[in-house]
Every structure is written in C-alpha cells, then in structure tokens.
Amino acid sequence: MTTLLIYVKNNNSMNDLMEKIVSLCKRRGVIFQSSEIYGGLANAWDYGPFGIELKNNIKQAWWKANVHNRYDILGMDASILMHPKVWEASGHVQNFYDLKSDCKSCKKRFKTEELKDKHKCPECGSELTEGRQFNLMFETYQGAVGDAADKIYLRPETAQGMFVNFVNILDSRHPKLPFGLAQIGKSFRNEITPGNFIFRTREFEQMEIEYFVRPQDGDKCYQSWVEERLKWYIGLGIKKDNIRKREHGKDELAHYALACTDIEYNFPIGWSELEGIANRADFDLKQHSQLSGKELKYFDEVSKEKFYPFIIEPSAGVDRSLLAFLVDAYHEEKVREETRVVLKLNKGLSPVKAAVLPLLKNRTAIVELAKKIAGDLKKDIYAVYDDTAAIGKLYRRQDEVGTPYCITVDVQSLEDKQVTVRDRDSMLQERIGVDRVKEYILEELNK
C-alpha cells in the first residue's frame, strides 16, 4: 500500500526538496520568515510553536550527551557582550575578514573567494570592484554617548566566553585535566552571502565545547572528539550515507588551529559543514594571558608544573543541525494514490510526542475524554489536543511535524474505554485501554 518516493540527488530535485521543507515549515508553524508583515528581513527566521520544540529538543539532546551524561564537562552561559579586548586577543579584530566584491552595475555583492572570475559579475557580466576586506563582526555602542571608546561587538562565537572564564572555573569547581566546558548560545556574523534558509544566517545559535587537555594528549583527544560527534548525529537518526568527515588541508586552517575536521552533511545545496572540530593548541589561553595580564595556566598538583593546556573544540550550529534533521527526516510516500508527507524524526527530537484527537468534536463526552487523556499525558511528555479539522487532516498535519503517536477517541471509546493509537511510521492502529495509554506511549518512546 505504501510506496516510498526516493529523492534522486541531482541538483533540481535537491533544491526542490529545500523548497518543500521551507514551505512545510511555514505551513505547519515550524519556521517563519522574520518580520514578514513588513516584507520580511532577508535571511532572518523566526521559530514557531513546533520549531521551538524541535530546537529545544536538539539542544537538550546535546546538553544531555555532553554535560549531564559525562563526569568531565561543565556547563556555562556567558554574556553575548564582552570586553572589546577579548576580540583583539582572539584575533577576530585582525583576522575575521572576508573579501567582498561588488558589481559596479547591478550592485550585487559576492564573497570574492567564491567567484570563478574575480573581475566579472556572475549575474550580469559587468565589472566587479577589487576584493575589499569586510569584518564579519557586528559592531554596536555601549551606553548613551556612543563614541569610539564605547564600541563593543556582538560575539561571533560562544567560545571566547569559556576561555575568559577558565580561571573562574578552576577556582570554583577545581576540575582536573582533562575537562571541558560546554555552552549553547546566540552568535552573530555579518555574513556577506547568507542564504539557503537557516543554513547561513547573520544571527544563529551554536553549541560549543572547549575541552582542555595536556598538550601531549591533544591529537588523540581531537581524533576521538571527531568520532564522538559523528556518532551523536547518527545516534539521533541521521543516515550514515548523508554524513561524513573532511579534514582541512594545511592551507585551509584558521590562524588558531593546529588541525581541523568538518563534519559535513549532504544538504540540498550539496555537502557542507555541519560542525567543525578543531585542535586549537594553546593559542587562546596564551593570547588572553598576554592581553589581560592574568596568568591562565593550569597547575598540575602531581608534577608541580604550570602549563597552558591544549584546547579541543567541537563547535556545532543549532540551526544547521535542525536543518539537517529536517532534511534527513523528510519523506514522501504514496498511500492510496495520495502523497503522504511525513517527518520520520527520531522520536526524542519530535516536537510533539502525542496528539489526542476526538473523532467527533460536537460530542461533549468524547471531547472531555480526549482532553483528559491529553492532560494526563502532558504531565510526562509534550502532548497536544486538537479538534480543528476532520480526522484525516489532523493525521496529515501531525505526520508533517513528525508526531510519533496519534490517539483517537471515538464513540466506541465511551463504551469500551479504549482508544485507537496510530503509529506515525507504520500507520498501524491499535486499540489500547484508556488507563494504559500513557504507559504504552512512554514504553514505545523509550524503546
């Protein structure tokens, strides 16, 4: 009865897939264009009721795997605004540039490194300006005066907030090497070529770990984080064929990195970075020591030595991960000559775990029972009650946001005290006693 429509990954169908995902996100309240009623702000997006649930579930899965389930990583949350010297020490003031070229005729702007012909506009063929340096940091002013002395930046990465707190963490929690810090938060980059939905935006969220190790353990630790992070995505359902690692060549490495590997995902725009894992050596702690005048060394109580630990940094994007999970989960199936769109998300990531649907919304007893079941489920999982359409439509809407279980209350339920539980993937329906519904769903979710 069910036939899978498999996407052939040529460019057309992949872009078609991106369009389908953008449209599903709008239609179902996952992601909206920012400020749409004013014509929209380009490349800025708002997460709707289901989008925020999915995003929170991704962040929680990351936090659980990297903070709560480990003994060696501590969480923190630094402020977005930091002392401007931080960005001198990190190299962002001096090095965080892209070259941009502008078309003299159509005025379009391009990232110089992405141009095949550095002098000719790829859109209209006219002459381009020479590549000009463009710092990617957003500048702003602190306080009322707004002169140059008050200039600060919106952070372009969360990492620095963890480096500058290194001594605070040592003094307050006394961790021993190797140990890590983890943080999730917003970052801002004035990207020259944002686009491709939430893949590249100017405001985005990162999930970063700074893992401090003895210098001699740096390389081994870096290699093991690459494997660890790859496993995390696969464990949450990303298909092995759609994810790979790519080590940077020496000429590609950032100024602070000894080595770097990207975890790439096969996005509709082609294989692109999902997460970067870098061996930053002792660059950051040394730099901050020099500029702040505070010693940021680790004291080893056994050898009585003081040294700068190496830092291994797995740095992932929340929004890019969310896009990868959406792309990977998107399925179209033919069911009785109709196309069923379903997000086969990992159940733990699904925005809603169960939807309770009354078959007849004008029968008070049915509505009351359905609301009671939903209320009871809500104590343990995120469940919704929905009576805004006929049952077929309600099933389709829940399939499109990846809800694993739909529970339908019908006339018979009032007599036999049973409801129908429908499985998202198999579409099989089972009659379950009302008093067993919660136990059944919890068991299924934990399988």
Q: x/- binding map, residues 137-176, to ligand ATP, per CB under 6 A?
A: --------------------x-------------------
Query: How many residues comprise the chain?
Result: 447
Instruction: Report how many residues bind ligand ATP under the rule CB under 6 A.
Output: 16
Query: Binding of ligand ATP at residue 284 (CB under 6 A)?
Result: no
Residue with CB nearest ligand ATP?
317
Query: Binding of ligand ATP at residue 191 (CB under 6 A)?
Result: yes
How many Å apart are CA 435 and CA 107, to the nearest integer?
Answer: 66
Please state the closest distance from residue 318 (CB atom) to ligand ATP, in A. Answer: 8
Among 320, 347, 422, 438, binds ligand ATP (CB under 6 A): 320
Query: Binding of ligand ATP at residue 264 (CB under 6 A)?
Result: no
Query: Binding of ligand ATP at residue 273 (CB under 6 A)?
Result: yes
Query: Binding of ligand ATP at residue 98 (CB under 6 A)?
Result: no
Q: Which CB atom, from 262 or from 387, has the smaller least distance to ligand ATP?
A: 262
Please state the closest distance from residue 176 (CB atom) to ligand ATP, in A. Answer: 28
CB 109 within 8 A of CB 192: yes
Query: Binding of ligand ATP at residue 196 (CB under 6 A)?
Result: no
Query: Binding of ligand ATP at residue 183 (CB under 6 A)?
Result: no
Please state the closest distance from residue 191 (CB atom) to ligand ATP, in A. Answer: 5
Q: Which CB atom, from 179 or from 204, has the smaller least distance to ligand ATP?
A: 204
Please state the closest distance from residue 40 (CB atom) to ligand ATP, in A. Answer: 17
How many Å apart are CA 328 and CA 235, to the nearest integer?
Answer: 13
Among 197, 204, 211, 298, binds ligand ATP (CB under 6 A): 204
Cross-strand bridge partners of residue 200: 195
Query: Binding of ligand ATP at residue 316 (CB under 6 A)?
Result: yes
Environment class of 350 (CB within 10 Å of its CB; exposed 0-12, middle 13-18, buried 19+)? buried
Segment near ligand ATP (CB under 6 A); pick from 7-15, 200-208, 222-230, 353-361 = 200-208
Query: Binding of ligand ATP at residue 55 (CB under 6 A)?
Result: no
Interface residues toward ligand ATP, by CB under 6 A: 157, 189, 191, 200-201, 204, 206, 273-276, 315-317, 319-320
